[in-house]
Amino acid sequence: MPLVAPFRTSFGTETARDVLLVKVVTPDAEGWAECVAMSEPLYSSEYVDGAAEVIRRFLLPALPKNLDVHDVGRALEPIKGHRMAKAALETAILDAQLRAAGESFARFLGAARSRVPCGVSVGIMDSIPQLLDAVAGYLDEGYVRIKLKIEPGWDVEPVRAVRERFGDDVLLQVDANAAYTLVDAPRLAKLDAFDLLLIEQPLANDDLVQHAKLAQLLKTPICLDESIESAEHAAAAIALGSCSIVNIKPGRIGGYLEARRIHDLCRANGIAVWCGGMLETGLGRAANVALAALPGFTLPGDTSASRRYYATDITEPFELADGHLDVPARPGIGVEPLPDVLDEVTTATEWISL
């Protein structure tokens, strides 16, 4: 799936996505899900070909005979890691189960809204004028929050330029994707001057202790992304004071049931949450929008419209209206792939009977 424009972060540049879809067929219904693993293990240790292999060799054989989504997590627990693969399998099973029951994803999860406010993630650019043009375009489209990707050498100056050009009323945050160390605290503290909503994952994904130290040195709230892979990780981060905001990405944490657990934990502890994105197609976006409608999601997420990433989505496109996306109300995730589009972009198919 080619992207409409290159998307550059501190760990690399993406120009297309190699998308793994999982389709579950039961006697009662069919369910779909999208695995968010990248082509290469740059965001995390998972990658798309590895996810397909672990589903094939280990996850599918571990499933119970009578599929019920509440049994999936326990059945797969002995297999270490591979949360993106597990999330795709569990979500497809959940989608089929909800379609059979006539219940929407949003209702099942406990959504409190019928539409959600949308932010947009803006990658690292070649120049500040290019960045300002991109941000202006997204604000013209109606996005209610801007997130800037940063890295050493591309941080204070682009943030200052955006704040000066568009003013203090624009909701603005930054995402480092673990590009800094605690030694960089004085540099990161310079971002305090720009009244940011948050700085996302400034330090290494496995270092909750140093994030807690950094939080004491900055006025800008710290949000954790890559560090949170489970409700247990979220509980540890809260106890240590490593963050005051959590970005919940269902693929990163093993699925939407675990996402709801983290939402409930954070809400009970006064920790704000928002829904992150992994350049999903309409299949993954539909489920994310439903999750983002839960009451604890108090900050706009990266649930952008389809056209932000794809000229042609594999589902009916999600379109921004007044800075919001509608939450799908049909059974399951509420969308399906368009057969002709899916056929055009499919490079391989494998069916496995249980």
315: domain CATH number? 3.20.20.120
- Euclidean distance between CA atoms 54 and 84, whole angstroms: 10
Q: Is 141 within the bounds of a domain?
A: yes
The secondary structure of residue 273, as a DSSP letter, is: E
| DSSP code of residue 321 | B
The per-residue pLDDT for 12 is 85
Asked whether residue 331 is assigned to any structural domain, the reply reads: no
Terminus-to-terminus CA distance in the chain, angstroms?
Answer: 30
Structure tokens at 185: 């605290």
Q: Verify that 23 and 159 share a domain, yes or no.
A: no
Same domain, 155 and 65: no
- Residue 252 burial by CB count (10 A; 0-12/13-18/19+): exposed, middle or buried? buried
- Residue 219 maps to a domain: yes
Residues 89 and 237 occupy one common structural domain: no
Predicted confidence at residue 10, as pLDDT, reads 84
144 in the same domain as 88: no
Do 236 and 163 belong to one domain? yes
* 3-state secondary structure (DSSP) of residue 227: coil
Structural domain harbouring 80: 2-103+337-345
- The tokens 């499919």 sit on which residue? 346
Catalytic residues: 149, 249
Tell me, what's the pLDDT at 172? Answer: 98
Among 301, 347, 302, CA closest to 18: 347
Task: Find, among 322, 321, 246, the residue nearest to 291 by Cα.
Answer: 246
- Using DSSP, state whether 277 is helix, strand or coil: coil
Please check whether residue 116 lies inside any domain of the structure. Answer: yes
Closest CA to 45 of 19, 77, 83, 10: 83
Pair (228, 320) in one structural domain: yes
Phi, psi of 29 (to 5 degrees): -170, 175
Co-location of 29 and 43 in the same domain: yes
Domain of 12, CATH number, reads 3.30.390.10
- Tokens 């569990």 sit at which residue? 90
Which residue, chain included where needed, has tokens 């054989």?
Answer: 61
Give the residue ranges of the chain where pLDDT is below 50. none
Same domain for 265 and 222: yes
- Do 143 and 92 share a structural domain? no
Task: Yes or no: say if 266 and 253 are a contact pair by the CB < 8 Å rule.
Answer: no
| Domain count along the chain | 2
Rounded (to 5) percent helix, strand, coil in the chain: 40, 20, 40
pLDDT at residue 204, as a whole number: 96
Reduce the DSSP state of residue 133 to 3 states and report it. Answer: helix
Do both 244 and 295 map to the same domain?
A: yes
- Cβ–Cβ under 8 Å, residues 117 and 144: yes
- The answer to whether position 160 is within a domain reads yes
